[in-house]
Structure 1
Amino acid sequence: MENIVAVISDYGLKDTYVGTVHGVIRSVNPDAKIVDITHNVRPFDLVDAAVKFKWSFKYFPRGTVFLILVDPDPSSESIIVSTEKYFVVCPNNGVGSLVFKEEPPEAVYRITADHYFIEGKGNFRGRNILAPIAAELAKLQSAHHLGEEIEISKLKRFRIPSPVEVSPGIFETIILDVDSFGNLILNMEYEGKEPKSIEINGVKIEKVSEKFSGFQKGELFVSVNPEGHFQIVAYMASAANILKAKRGMKVKVEF
């Protein structure tokens, strides 16, 4: 048993929030291995959290407990989702929507084992409720004693827009994510065929390259990110800044 708790949050690292969550997990489960996937999800941004979760979960071993702490709606239920390989502890707010397409839920539990909760001031569900449950779950590898099973249909989900073919060989896509390097990641995956061009904000980009070499600083080109999505890159610079682009902006892709 790996005894791993993998955490995604929008807490950032400036405050004490991440550290106290770690402390709670280790207090409940001293042998837990805590992996911080990211704490830089945009505040309250479920789409950003869902994308980061999708791009990371498959690299973890069976039995990993994912603790997802992006929580814009404190009224949502606290739940555990079990799949064939993993457990997810999170609010029922749709944050697992993309992952559950690839790793279907086998059961969903409303967390009821309040004797595991810790006392704390303020509204800090991540520390007081979800963290201790995730820590106990990593030990038990079973959710049966931690909650009441509910219908899988009660699991909230949302969809991310797909590319739309607006004319033969021409697709309207959107920027799905802007990474820390300023690369613009599209909601279109590479399926073996390179585009002729990508156009954004009136700028047409025709260079496509697998390698990040042989370019002038700031030169734009199209590549594929580690998770298989097309991305617009500026060599040794920020494509987002150069193109004045942000997430959700429309991009035309021609094949």
Structure 2
Amino acid sequence: MKIVTLISDWKLKDPYVSMFKGAILSSIPDVTIVDISHAIPLFDIKQAAFILRSVYSTFPNDSLHIILTASTFSSTEKPICVQYNNHHFLGYDNGIFSILFDTLDELQAFEYSLAEEEASSYLNKLVNMAKWLFNNQLSNFTSPFSNFKMALQQKVIFDENAKKISGQIAYIDSCYNAVTNIPVDKFEEFGQNRAFLATIASSNYLKITKCCDFYNASEEEIYFVKNRLGFIEITMYQSNIAILGNIKIGDKVEIVFN
């Protein structure tokens, strides 16, 4: 099965997503196209990386994930195809790959290298690379690539001496729950079921002392939940907590354990 996923900041009002899908289907007729999201904030590669990183592994191995967020549409740009964890990622090297993967070391990556098609549009090059990948011809028209651009990002810090985890708000979902960049497994490993107090930089009056395995209708205060994406999420039952608490993407989150 040939599966292509798309993630972009193009929205759906304009015809561009449909045009690109049409180009893919014309070139690869037996492909299945799945939309991950086209509602990424404009040029926000951090949001795109967070969402794609959270969901790509749920797709079958050898799926191709095309990243269109913050595309330049320049005919001089050369798309990059990266092979990682039995999946393929195709897009423009605008720094997103440095956020998307745990490490760039020893990645298998390939750059579009057909000189006679330099004037071809960037999107046509993406379609061509997708076709070559599924036809096992990628190495015939590309060259190895390793000089990735680096994007600044906030790493989660685990401070054993201070008994503290420092992270940030990475995503606000459609229900206005605030998703942190703190992985559930790391939170559990570090916390060891100890009591904790969590605060958010922009909301000094919000104090979090409880973490639940699932959304709890009986809770009447703000709490952590271990969400389905595998990250610690800040929520409150049937409340738009991000709005009520003035929580924004990028806000610092600190969890101090007893």
Range into which the TM-score falls when normalised by the shorter chain: 0.7 to 0.9
Asked if 1 retains the 8 angstrom alpha-carbon contact of 2:46 and 2:99, the reply is no
Out of 189, 202, 207, the position equivalent to 1:204 is 207
Query: Following superposition of structure 1 onto structure 2, how do residues 139-218 of structure 1 map, counting pairs within 5 Å?
Result: 139-150=134-145, 152=146, 154-158=147-151, 160-164=153-157, 165=159, 168-190=162-184, 191=186, 192=188, 193=191, 194=193, 196-200=196-200, 201-202=203-204, 203-215=206-218
Out of 229, 237, 247, the position equivalent to 1:245 is 247
Asked if 1 retains the 8 angstrom alpha-carbon contact of 2:178 and 2:241, the reply is yes
Kindly state the Cα deviation for residue 27 of structure 1 after the two structures are TM-superposed. 0.4
Question: Match of 1:88?
Answer: 89
Q: Report the identity percentage.
A: 24
Q: 5+ unaligned residues in a row in structure 2: which ranges?
A: none
Question: Match of 1:67?
Answer: 66
User: Which letter does structure 2 place at the counterpart of 1:223?
Assistant: V
Distance 1:33 1:114 in 2: 30
Question: Match of 1:130?
Answer: 126
TM-score (norm 1): 0.83
Q: 5+ unaligned residues in a row in structure 1: which ranges?
A: none
CA change 1:228–1:169 in 2 (3 A) is same
Asked if 2 retains the 8 angstrom alpha-carbon contact of 1:118 and 1:132, the reply is no
Distance 1:116 1:180 in 2: 42
User: Which letter does structure 2 place at the counterpart of 1:254?
Assistant: V
User: Which letter does structure 1 place at the counterpart of 2:171?
Assistant: D
Question: Match of 2:8?
Answer: 9
Distance 2:126 2:103 in 1: 24
CA change 1:149–1:156 in 2 (3 A) is same
Kindly state the Cα deviation for residue 111 of structure 1 after the two structures are TM-superposed. 0.9
User: Which letter does structure 2 place at the counterpart of 1:81?
Assistant: V
Query: Following superposition of structure 1 onto structure 2, how do residues 106-125 of structure 1 map, counting pairs within 5 Å?
Result: 106-113=107-114, 125=122
Moved over 6 A (4+): 114-119
Across the aligned residues of Structure 1 and Structure 2, the Cα RMSD in angstroms comes to: 2.8
Asked if 2 retains the 8 angstrom alpha-carbon contact of 1:5 and 1:67, the reply is yes
